[in-house]
């Protein structure tokens, strides 16, 4: 009997040591891990193709199983999501912006919001999906796919969802502390609207914030070169320098919500160019153009990362003609016409090439062909 008790005690001791050893090897195993709550929103039908409208709900639905299988997420089921959007004054198109997605996520108690859009073009659809981290209000993962509208269409959509779920699981780990509860409920949104005295159904009174957040500011910096045209081309062949520029897209939201108006942008660019001279009468020509520009942005379904923007500008050109050791200053009214091709590298970064004809009005017209290769950062 004593022998049996001895073996039993030894077994219990070894089991206890095994548990302690496991805890020592993996000290985080005792911490509670809370899966991130994911909200799937309706994808925006950018081309307003009624025959493909079913993709607005079927594409986000394809993300549910891959996210659950990733082990880090739990998918929220919100059948009244459209009511939340209506009460907050957020459209399916606006939810694509990080700030609006995070705003909705905080209200319904989500840690991650999946947003997206799709554009139809003949026999294919370009789908773009984004995972927004609600806490940081920043884009976490983004991916896209060009899907042929055939029998394998939903297989391609499933592959997009599975392809995104892995980097999401890598970047958005389970939480160590319990996430906060939803900020409000649909009933409280209704109550806030009623308290504000807004008689129009489905809208909140304050819309200034969403308009401000709809603006897109881009800052550009890069190198420039210009080719002098006309009679002076033999004197000032090619000039080099640098230019800073920037633009604002979406100002028309303050006036109208029409989509075609939202593609207008206004900008400002300034820089420095120097043209070395071949003529002994002048050593070089320096030039500082400062122009306001107006453009209209075009995007393409087949090339979703490419944007073309025709531009016109007007402003002043400052500089001097250098003669010996002294310079002759000048300032001339100038204008330009041209365009910019931009390739989107990520949600924040892009590269662009602007090419335009710059014309100065001074005792006739002096023309230059100016090119501006830049890197842009958007916020």
Measuring CA to CA, how many Å separate 99 from each of 18, 82, 90, 379? 49, 18, 11, 11
Higher pLDDT, 317 or 79: 317
Q: Is the pLDDT of residue 185 over 70?
A: no
Q: Are 355 and 374 in contact (CB under 8 A)?
A: no
CATH fold of 215-378 reads: Porin (2.40.160)
Q: What is the pLDDT of residue 18?
A: 40
Instruction: Please compute the mean of the pLDDT values over residues 192-213 and round it to a whole number.
Output: 41
Instruction: Please compute the mean of the pLDDT values over residues 140-161 and round it to a whole number.
Output: 89
Q: What is the pLDDT of residue 12?
A: 35
Q: Is the pLDDT of residue 86 over 90?
A: no
pLDDT band at 296 (very low <50, low <70, confident <90, very high): very high
Among 35-44, 197-206, 271-280, name the one with the lowest average pLDDT: 197-206
pLDDT band at 199 (very low <50, low <70, confident <90, very high): very low
Q: Taking the model in full, what pTM does it have?
A: 0.48
Q: What is the pLDDT of residue 152?
A: 83
Sign (positive/negative) of CA torsion 76, 44, 91, 249? Answer: positive
pLDDT band at 204 (very low <50, low <70, confident <90, very high): very low
Q: Quickly count: other Cβ atoms within 10 Å of residue 202's Cβ.
A: 13
Paired with 247 in beta bridges are: 218, 267
Q: Is the pLDDT of residue 91 over 70?
A: yes
Q: Are 78 and 177 in contact (CB under 8 A)?
A: no
Dihedral-angle region of residue 250 (phi above 0 means left; psi in -120 to 50 means alpha; beta otherwise)? left
Q: Is the pLDDT of residue 194 over 80?
A: no
pLDDT band at 232 (very low <50, low <70, confident <90, very high): low
- Distance between CA atoms of residues 291 and 243, nearest Å: 11
CATH fold of 32-196 reads: Rossmann fold (3.40.50)
Q: What is the pLDDT of residue 200?
A: 39
Q: Is the pLDDT of residue 285 over 70?
A: yes
pLDDT band at 322 (very low <50, low <70, confident <90, very high): confident
Q: What is the pLDDT of residue 234?
A: 57
pLDDT tens digits, 301-316: 667 788 899 999 999 9
Higher pLDDT, 27 or 179: 179
Long-range contacts of 31-34 (CB under 8 A, 24+ apart): 31/176, 32/176, 32/178, 33/174, 33/175, 33/176, 34/174, 34/175, 34/176, 34/177, 34/178, 34/179
Instruction: Please compute the mean of the pLDDT values over residues 119-136 and round it to a whole number.
Output: 90
Higher pLDDT, 306 or 15: 306
Q: What is the 3-state secondary structure (H, E, C) of the chain?
A: CHHHHHHHHHHHHHHHHHHHHHHHHCHHHHCCCECEEEEECCCEECCCCHHHCCHHHHHHHCCHHHHHHHCCEEECCCCCHHHHHHHHCCCCCHHHCHHHHHHHHHHHCCCEEEEEEEEEECCEEEEEEEEEECCCCEEEEEEEEEEECCCCHHHHHHHHHHHHHHHHHHHCCCECCCCCCCCCCHHHHHHHHHHCCCCCCCCCCCCHHHHHHHCEEEEEEEEEEEEECHHHHHCCCEEEEEEEEEEEECHHHHCCCCCCHHHEEEEEEEEEEEEECCCCCCCEEEEEEEEEEEEECEECCCCCCEEEEEEEEEEEEEEEEEECCEEEEEEEEEEEEEEEEEEECCCCEEEEEEEEEEEEECCCEEEEEEEEEEEEEEC
pLDDT band at 325 (very low <50, low <70, confident <90, very high): low
32-196 and 215-378 in the same fold: no
């Amino acid at each position: 009997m004593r022998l049996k008790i001895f073996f039993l005690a030894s077994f219990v001791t070894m089991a206890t040591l095994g548990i302690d050893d496991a805890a020592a090897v993996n000290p985080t195993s005792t911490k509670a891990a809370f899966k991130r709550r994911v909200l799937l929103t309706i994808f925006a039908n950018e081309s307003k193709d009624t025959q493909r409208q079913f993709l607005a709900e079927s594409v986000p639905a394809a993300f549910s199983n891959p996210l659950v299988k990733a082990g880090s997420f739990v998918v929220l089921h919100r059948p009244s999501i459209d009511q939340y959007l209506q009460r907050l004054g957020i459209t399916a198109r606006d939810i694509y912006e990080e700030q609006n997605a995070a705003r909705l996520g905080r209200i319904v108690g989500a840690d991650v919001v999946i947003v997206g859009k799709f554009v139809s073009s003949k026999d294919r659809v370009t789908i773009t999906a984004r995972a927004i981290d609600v806490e940081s209000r920043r884009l976490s993962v983004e991916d896209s796919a060009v899907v042929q509208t055939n029998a394998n269409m939903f297989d391609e959509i499933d592959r997009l969802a599975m392809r995104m779920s892995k980097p999401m699981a890598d970047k958005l780990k389970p939480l160590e502390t319990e996430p906060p509860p939803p900020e409000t409920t649909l009933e409280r949104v209704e109550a806030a609207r009623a308290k504000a005295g807004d008689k129009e159904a489905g809208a909140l009174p304050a819309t200034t914030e969403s308009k401000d957040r709809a603006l897109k500011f881009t800052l550009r910096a890069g190198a420039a070169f210009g080719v002098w045209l006309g009679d002076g081309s033999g004197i000032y062949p090619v000039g080099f320098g640098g230019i800073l520029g920037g633009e604002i897209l979406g100002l028309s939201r303050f006036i109208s919500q029409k989509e075609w108006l939202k593609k207008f942008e206004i900008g400002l660019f300034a820089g420095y160019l120097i043209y070395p001279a071949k003529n002994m009468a002048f050593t070089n020509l320096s030039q500082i153009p400062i122009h306001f520009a107006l453009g209209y942005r075009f995007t393409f379904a087949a090339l979703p990362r490419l944007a073309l923007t025709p531009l016109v500008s007007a402003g002043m050109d400052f500089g001097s003609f250098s003669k010996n050791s002294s310079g002759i200053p000048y300032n001339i009214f100038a204008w330009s016409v041209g365009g910019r091709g931009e390739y989107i590298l990520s949600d924040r970064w892009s590269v662009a090439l602007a090419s335009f004809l710059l014309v100065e009005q001074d005792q006739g017209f002096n023309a230059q062909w100016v090119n501006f290769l830049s890197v842009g950062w958007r916020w």
